[in-house]
Amino acid sequence: EVQLVESGGGLVQPGGSLRLSCAASGFRFDSYAMSWVRRAPGKRLEWVSAINSGGGSTNYADSVKGRFTISRDNAKNTLYLQLNNLKPEDTAVYYCARPREPHVIVIIPGADVFDYWGQGTQITVSS
């Protein structure tokens, strides 16, 4: 059974940092490029970042480039997102998502391009 479980969200002040984790199980994690996506209150789903299956190639949305870092530890079946210099507009529920096909990097926000999602973890950036 495929399962993705996000953790690490919380309340943080502007300029602060958080580190999100996504624990994966039930599939060959190291065969899949993975993505982080987010949904802010009243907004559409936004693609945030992606990383290839081996971890050597990354992509970021313009809104987070230079502030967020995606990484993975395939030995631990875990995906990470380091969020630095957080801004109020980063407030959202963050999801770990698996693309439908292995070894394919997805950089668009449409829900149809992913077949499994985590439950999400809330990040609130506020003073």
Name the DSSP letter for residue 33. Answer: -
Place of tokens 């530890």: 73
Give residues with Cβ within 8 angstroms of 96, minimum separation 6: 4, 6, 22, 24, 34, 35, 36, 79, 117, 118
Q: Which of 58, 8, 37, 39 is nearest to 116 (CA)?
A: 37
What is the residue-averaged pLDDT of the chain? 95
Average pLDDT over residues 80-102: 97
Tell me what the mean pLDDT of segment 2-25 comes to.
98
Quote the pLDDT of residue 106.
85
**What pLDDT is recorded for position 110?**
75
